[in-house]
């Protein structure tokens, strides 16, 4: 999109080498630098980022190096009024959180995207109350106060026009204006609620139903509004009225991602659970009108809380609970309408609800609208055609039925929004006797997107109208300024956009008229409409036909060229209600809904006159312009510093675009067409008096001094008013260039003189320092000579002093040595005497202690010996008991062996007897019986041999076990004997040591009586010793008894062994006899 720039051309006289200038930059719009070289009409500039750029002098703008570091509050005070100067001033102030700046009578408000509570509130309202504009820093309260004071004092109607693109802060600025007017306008109660309260609380209601999230703004107003606040004669608010313009109806049915539909739909889905169940609602994702975009929630917005806040606001503005319920029932019905899908019916080009889900939503929508479900289906799917002969019902195909459904939803929502506005106006009430009012216009700013439709066309048409009004008012203000200063002025030309307005609204050949004409023909399409535009405006300089499209068209607006897509122009321009929809909703059982669609007058219904949104909007706009023309306007231009909606980000290119679209740069251009630079007389004289020193006398008149300065500089076209000097474009730069030259020459002279002064001062200082150094050096030489003489003279004195000190020290040492010997002998005598006395005192106690220790050691030895003996006896007793048990077991086993031996002897006797018997039988010749007897005997012999071997094994094991036990007992006895011997040796050593200690003790000179009271303990110890001796004797007896029994058992065991050997011999003999018997038997 091409946007014209405001070019205030520089002149070669203004720019010299070393000048600080501004040049265009594609990234940051304007960048500053310094001229390093000039070659003809081109200049080489070194920018602040280090780049070298060559630009034409006509495209270079001078930079004011003397501008205040915090910027100026009114940009008409800038020495150089051009685009880069304006942009830099706004940027500097924005970085200091100064978001408000004047440009003449225009207030520029830059959205900070953060809370600034210190510049709002009641204290700031009180501060700006009744204070003329300009005395305090720029503020929205200052504009509101100016409008209020002019209305009260002059009795004229005033208006405040707030404009800007989406997200620039128009709605918040309007709220601030309303708060200040309510603050200064007093309190007039209406049914228990003040008018200003109702006006302020109308904002949440209108925002809920008229605002939505867009790409650029989370709370974008999708309608324009003009609020008339009426005042009585005393300046108190007595009434108010709200007029709205061009609600975006298409958003109800069509939402682009990531935008949202109107807030009220999401608020209702977040209502309390009973409300959701009553209206059969759910998650926004389940509704077609809401799920076209993936955005359902806003980061800083709680829909549930906003729903309750909206209901409270409705209470304040006077909407009853019954009407509130009906309003949200209508909103819910629209959501259910969107979920009714259509499919082909049985007949040709007919449609029916697609499935059970569609039928369910159809039923719920009918219940909420309180109409018949079948009638609602017929109204959506059929059309009635009335002919003179008959009434014909025509079915709609699914696509047409969907269009009909969306049309019904848009119509219902539009009528609901209009009803809300009317209800708010009726609730607030208007004062018919009021003759003064202040109007606040919150209107959408100029819009230019990639895709621009009918809404953008109407919005930009509105901005063209407002821009024309703005230009005319600004030109009038310029003339008033010149008249006030009593200067001669000629007609100032400014760009008039009347040709654009004629292109849009002229009858009968304007775009709106051609659009209405196309809408009246049933067969018209957007292609035919576009072709009609191409033919009609092919030679119009403001109308452009794009090369790559057959249906788009471009209009060159004051803020730039905008290309519109005509695809939906015809559908969006139609402003009539389908008769079937009208009849359906009139028949609703809900009075609220039927009142939204009052029956049309008979003559209107019969008339074929066509009504369109474009024509109606043009009429509303004309009425608005008439209202604004009857008021004194005040302008507030809201600016969005960045598209990220974040604080502390200042996008130069984006802001320059908004300043052009908002007419701020056009206002500067108009100012430049006259006298853009205006400087108070005293400031001018103070700044440029050095150009004409002869005019600066002690009693000079400022106006005459200004005249002389300007005449001397040879400037023409300037004007000198009563309090200001008015200069043409570029003249301030020329004066600054001349001033810079004079200052440069003066600076050179001053620098030369200062350098001379500095060199002279340096020379004198150097001379003074040289003399000082020389004097110090001479003093140093004299000091060295003196030191040498001093060392030579002092050497003799030092030697004499050394000898004298040695003599005195030797003498003092001898005296000290003699005294020390005497003292040492006396001290040694005293010490020996003390030691002797101490030895005498302590000798008796040492002897007693030695005896007592000897007695204690003897007792300890006795106890130790007796304890050892007792322990040994008890241990031997335990060992003897164990040995006795083992011997008893061995004895038992030996008895078993004896029994076995007896049995074997009996068996041998039996075998002997049988052998004899067998001999007898053999003699008798009974061979068979002998053989049988032989077998039995052999078996018996084998059994006896096995038992004999078993007895031998048992005897061997028993002998080994006895030997091991005897060895253990002998070892333990030897170990105990060794320990007793060691104990006796230790006791003997202790006795010898005690005797030596007693013999070593010296005799006691003076005995000290020592009392010993341990008789009871000694008796106890003696008794214990006696008992231990008794137990020791018993243990010895038991040990002897065990030893005797052991010997007896040993003897018995040896006897049994002998018997066992005899038995073995007999068994061998028996075996030999059996062998012989067997051999004989064989023979």
Is 165 annotated in a binding site? The answer is yes
Residues 705 and 850 in one domain: no
Residues 896 and 1032 in one domain: yes
Q: How far apart (Å, rounded) are the C-alpha atoms in residues 622 and 241?
A: 18
Is 156 annotated in a binding site? The answer is no
Query: 3 and 560 in contact (C-beta within 8 Å)?
Result: yes
**433, 439, 286: which is closest to 364 by C-alpha?**
286
Q: Can you give the pTM of this predicted structure?
A: 0.63
Question: Percent of the chain at pLDDT above 70?
Answer: 87
Final residue of a structural domain among 17, 47, 63: 63
Mean pLDDT, range 864-889, rounded to an integer: 84
Catalytic residue among 159, 171, 238, 350: 171
Residues 901 and 1038 in one domain: yes
CA distances from 401 to 289, 520, 567 (A): 16, 21, 20
Q: What is the pLDDT of residue 1082?
A: 64
Position 532 confidence tier, pLDDT thresholds 50, 70, 90: very high
Q: What is the pLDDT of residue 844?
A: 78
Q: What is the pLDDT of residue 177?
A: 92
- pLDDT digits over 789-832, tens only? 888 888 888 888 999 999 999 999 999 999 999 999 999 999 99
Residues 934 and 1071 in one domain: yes
Instruction: Flag whether 439 is in a domain.
Output: no
Catalytic annotation present for 167: yes
- pLDDT digits over 541-558, tens only? 999 999 888 899 999 998
Instruction: Flag whether 42 is in a domain.
Output: yes
Mean pLDDT, range 198-224, rounded to an integer: 87
Catalytic annotation present for 224: no
**434, 480, 570: which is closest to 151 by C-alpha?**
434
Domain span holding position 29: 1-63
**Domains held by the chain: number:** 3
User: Over 60: is that where the pLDDT of 47 sits?
Assistant: yes
Residues 713 and 841 in one domain: no
Catalytic residue among 447, 455, 481, 702: 447
Q: Which carries the bigger pLDDT value, residue 21 or residue 1003?
A: 21
User: Over 50: is that where the pLDDT of 1008 sits?
Assistant: no
DSSP state of 691: G
User: Over 80: is that where the pLDDT of 728 sits?
Assistant: no
Instruction: Flag whether 538 is in a domain.
Output: no
Catalytic annotation present for 207: no
CATH of the domain at 38: 2.30.30.1060
Q: What are phi and psi of 39, to 5 degrees?
A: -130, 95
CA distances from 596 to 246, 429, 487 (A): 18, 21, 60
DSSP assignment of 997-1039: HHHHSPPPSS--------HHHHHHHHHHHHHHHHHHHHHHHHH
Is 166 annotated in a binding site? The answer is yes
Catalytic annotation present for 566: no
Residues 1048 and 921 in one domain: yes
Catalytic residue among 79, 158, 194, 220: 220
Q: What is the pLDDT of residue 4?
A: 38
Range with the lowest mean pLDDT among 81-85, 324-328, 575-579, 768-772?
Answer: 575-579
User: Over 80: is that where the pLDDT of 998 sits?
Assistant: no
Q: What is the pLDDT of residue 193?
A: 66
CA distances from 1083 to 873, 939, 1072 (A): 72, 21, 17
**630, 644, 1018, 625: which is closest to 856 by C-alpha?**
1018
Instruction: Flag whether 360 is in a domain.
Output: no
Instruction: Flag whether 628 is in a domain.
Output: no
**852, 812, 1061, 845: which is closest to 959 by C-alpha?**
1061
Is 169 annotated in a binding site? The answer is yes
- pLDDT digits over 847-870, tens only? 888 888 888 888 888 888 888 888
How does the average pLDDT of the chain come out, rounded? Answer: 83
Instruction: Flag whether 709 is in a domain.
Output: yes
Q: How far apart (Å, rounded) are the C-alpha atoms in residues 175 and 219?
A: 14
Which residues are 224's β-sheet partners? 245
Q: What is the pLDDT of residue 755?
A: 93
Residues 836 and 709 in one domain: no
Cα dihedral across residues 948, 954, 960, 963: positive or negative: negative
Buried b (16+ CB within 10 A) or exposed e, 165-176: bbbbbbbbbbbb
Residues 1016 and 907 in one domain: yes
Mean pLDDT, range 669-686, rounded to an integer: 76
Residues 718 and 832 in one domain: no
Final residue of a structural domain among 14, 35, 63: 63
Q: What is the pLDDT of residue 1015?
A: 59
Catalytic annotation present for 166: yes
Residues 1004 and 866 in one domain: yes
Catalytic annotation present for 447: yes
Catalytic residue among 76, 163, 217, 411: 217
Catalytic residue among 19, 76, 79, 166: 166
Position 420 confidence tier, pLDDT thresholds 50, 70, 90: very high
Instruction: Flag whether 946 is in a domain.
Output: yes
Range with the lowest mean pLDDT among 367-381, 405-419, 835-849?
Answer: 835-849
User: Over 60: is that where the pLDDT of 6 sits?
Assistant: no
Q: How far apart (Å, rounded) are the C-alpha atoms in residues 361 and 405?
A: 12
Final residue of a structural domain among 19, 43, 63: 63
User: Over 70: is that where the pLDDT of 1070 sits?
Assistant: yes
- pLDDT digits over 132-161, tens only? 888 899 999 999 999 999 899 888 899 999
Question: Percent of the chain at pLDDT above 90?
Answer: 35
Residues 994 and 865 in one domain: yes
**Taking the CA of residue 1006 as centre, how many other CA atoms within 13 Å lie in the half-sphere pointing to its CB?**
6
Catalytic residue among 159, 202, 221, 411: 221
Element (DSSP H or E) covering residue 810: helix 731-924
Mark out the alpha helices in 429-556 (DSSP H runs): 454-484, 498-505, 511-520, 526-536
Mean pLDDT, range 631-637, rounded to an integer: 91
Instruction: Flag whether 138 is in a domain.
Output: no
Residues 920 and 1056 in one domain: yes
Give, to the nearest 10 degrees, the angle between helix 140-154 and helix 170-184: 40
Is 614 annotated in a binding site? The answer is no
Q: What is the pLDDT of residue 851?
A: 87
Is 167 annotated in a binding site? The answer is yes
User: Over 90: is that where the pLDDT of 276 sits?
Assistant: yes
Q: How far apart (Å, rounded) are the C-alpha atoms in residues 503 and 382?
A: 39
């Amino acid at each position: 999109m091409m946007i014209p720039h405001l070019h205030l051309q520089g002149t070669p006289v203004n720019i010299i080498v070393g000048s600080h200038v501004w040049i265009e930059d594609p990234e940051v719009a304007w960048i500053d630098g310094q001229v390093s070289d000039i070659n003809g009409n081109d200049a080489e500039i070194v920018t602040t980022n280090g780049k070298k750029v060559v630009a034409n002098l006509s495209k270079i703008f001078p930079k004011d190096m003397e501008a205040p570091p915090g910027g100026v509050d009114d940009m008409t005070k800038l020495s150089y009024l051009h685009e880069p100067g304006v942009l830099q001033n706004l940027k500097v102030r924005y970085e200091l959180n100064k978001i408000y700046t004047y440009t003449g009578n225009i207030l520029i408000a830059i959205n900070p995207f953060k809370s600034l509570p210190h510049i709002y509130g009641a204290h700031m309202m009180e501060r700006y109350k009744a204070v003329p504009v300009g005395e305090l820093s720029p503020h929205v309260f200052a504009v509101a106060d100016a409008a209020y004071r002019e209305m009260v004092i002059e009795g004229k109607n005033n208006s405040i026009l707030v404009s800007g693109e989406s997200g620039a802060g128009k709605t918040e600025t309007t709220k601030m204006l309303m708060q200040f007017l309510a603050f200064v306008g007093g309190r007039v109660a209406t049914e228990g609620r003040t008018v200003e309260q109702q006006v302020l609380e109308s904002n949440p209601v209108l925002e809920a139903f008229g605002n939505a999230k867009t790409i650029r703004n989370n709370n974008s107003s999708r309608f324009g509004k003009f609020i008339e606040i009426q005042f009585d004669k005393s300046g108190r608010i007595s009434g108010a009225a709200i007029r709205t313009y061009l609600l975006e109806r298409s958003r109800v049915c069509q939402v682009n991602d990531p935008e949202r539909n109107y807030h009220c739909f999401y608020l209702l889905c977040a209502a309390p659970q009973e409300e959701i169940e009553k209206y059969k609602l759910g998650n926004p994702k389940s509704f077609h009108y809401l799920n076209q975009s993936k955005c359902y929630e806003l980061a800083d917005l709680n829909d549930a809380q906003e729903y309750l806040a909206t209901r409270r606001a409705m209470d304040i503005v006077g909407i009853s609970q019954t009407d509130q319920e009906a309003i949200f029932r209508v909103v819910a019905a629209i959501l259910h309408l969107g979920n009714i899908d259509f499919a082909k019916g049985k007949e040709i080009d007919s449609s029916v609800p697609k499935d059970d889900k569609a039928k369910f939503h159809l039923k719920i929508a009918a219940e909420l609208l309180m109409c018949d479900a079948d009638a609602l289906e017929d109204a959506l799917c059929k059309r009635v055609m009335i002919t003179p002969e008959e009434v014909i019902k025509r079915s709609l195909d699914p696509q047409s039925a969907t269009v009909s459904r969306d049309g019904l939803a848009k119509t219902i929502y539009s009528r609901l929004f209009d009803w809300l506005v009317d209800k708010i106006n009726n609730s607030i009430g208007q004062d018919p006797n009021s003759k003064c009012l202040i109007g606040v216009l919150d209107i959408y700013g100029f819009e230019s997107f990639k895709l621009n439709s009918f809404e953008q066309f109407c919005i930009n048409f509105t901005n063209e109208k407002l821009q024309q009004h703005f230009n005319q008012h600004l030109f009038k203000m310029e003339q008033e300024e010149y008249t006030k200063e009593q200067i001669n002025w000629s007609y100032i030309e400014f760009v008039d956009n009347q040709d654009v307005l004629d292109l849009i609204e002229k009858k009968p050949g304007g775009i709106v008229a051609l659009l209405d004409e196309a809408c009246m023909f049933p067969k018209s399409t957007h292609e035919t409409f576009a072709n009609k535009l191409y033919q009609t405006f092919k030679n119009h300089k403001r109308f452009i036909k794009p090369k790559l499209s057959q249906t788009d068209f471009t209009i060159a607006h004051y803020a730039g060229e905008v290309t519109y897509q005509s695809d939906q122009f015809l559908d969006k321009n139609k402003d009539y209600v389908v008769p079937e929809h009208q009849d359906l909703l009139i028949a609703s059982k809900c009075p609220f809904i039927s009142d939204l669609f009052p029956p049309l007058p008979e003559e209107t219904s019969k008339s074929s006159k066509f009504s369109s949104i474009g024509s109606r909007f043009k009429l509303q706009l004309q009425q608005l312009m008439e209202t604004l023309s009857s008021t004194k306007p005040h302008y507030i231009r809201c600016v969005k510093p960045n598209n990220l909606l974040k604080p502390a980000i200042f996008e130069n290119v984006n802001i320059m675009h908004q300043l052009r679209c908002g007419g701020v740069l056009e206002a500067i251009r108009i100012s430049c067409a006259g006298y853009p630079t205006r400087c108070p007389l005293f400031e001018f004289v103070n700044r440029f008096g050095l150009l004409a020193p002869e005019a600066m006398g002690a009693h000079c008149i400022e106006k005459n001094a200004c005249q002389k300065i300007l005449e001397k500089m040879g400037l023409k076209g300037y004007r000198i008013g009563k309090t200001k000097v008015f200069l043409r474009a570029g003249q301030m730069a020329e004066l600054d260039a001349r001033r810079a030259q004079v200052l440069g020459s003066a600076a050179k002279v001053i620098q030369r003189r200062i350098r001379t002064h500095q060199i002279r001062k340096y020379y004198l200082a150097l001379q003074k320092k040289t003399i000082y150094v020389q004097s110090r050096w001479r003093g140093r030489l004299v000091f060295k000579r003196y030191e040498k003489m001093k060392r030579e003279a002092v050497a003799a004195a030092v030697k004499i002093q050394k000898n004298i000190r040695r003599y005195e020290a030797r003498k003092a040492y001898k005296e000290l040595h003699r005294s020390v010997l005497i003292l040492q002998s006396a001290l040694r005598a005293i010490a020996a005497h003390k030691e002797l006395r101490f030895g005498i005192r302590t000798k008796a106690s040492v002897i007693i202690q030695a005896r007592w220790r000897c007695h204690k050691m003897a007792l300890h030895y006795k106890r130790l010996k007796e304890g050892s003996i007792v322990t040994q006896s008890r241990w031997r007793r335990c060992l003897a008991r164990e040995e006795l048990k083992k011997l008893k077991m061995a004895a038992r086993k030996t008895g078993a062996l004896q029994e076995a031996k007896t049995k074997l002897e009996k068996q041998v006797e039996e075998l002997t007897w049988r052998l004899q018997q067998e001999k007898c039988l053999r003699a008798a010749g009974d061979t068979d019986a002998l053989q049988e007897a032989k077998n039995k005997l052999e078996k018996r012999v084998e059994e006896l041999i096995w038992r004999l071997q078993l007895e031998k094994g048992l005897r061997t094991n028993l002998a080994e076990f006895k030997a091991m036990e005897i060895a253990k007992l002998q070892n333990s006895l030897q170990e105990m004997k060794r320990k007793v011997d060691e104990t006796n040796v230790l006791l003997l050593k202790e006795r010898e040591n005690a005797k030596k200690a007693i013999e070593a003790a010296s005799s006691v000179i003076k005995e000290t009586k020592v009392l010993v009271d341990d008789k009871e303990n000694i008796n106890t110890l003696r008794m214990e010793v006696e008992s231990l001796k008794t137990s020791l004797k018993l243990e010895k007896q038991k040990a002897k008894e065990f030893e005797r029994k052991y010997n007896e058992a040993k003897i018995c065991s040896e006897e049994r062994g002998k018997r066992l050997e005899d038995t073995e011999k007999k068994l061998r003999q028996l075996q030999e006899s059996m062998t012989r018997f067997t051999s004989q038997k064989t023979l």
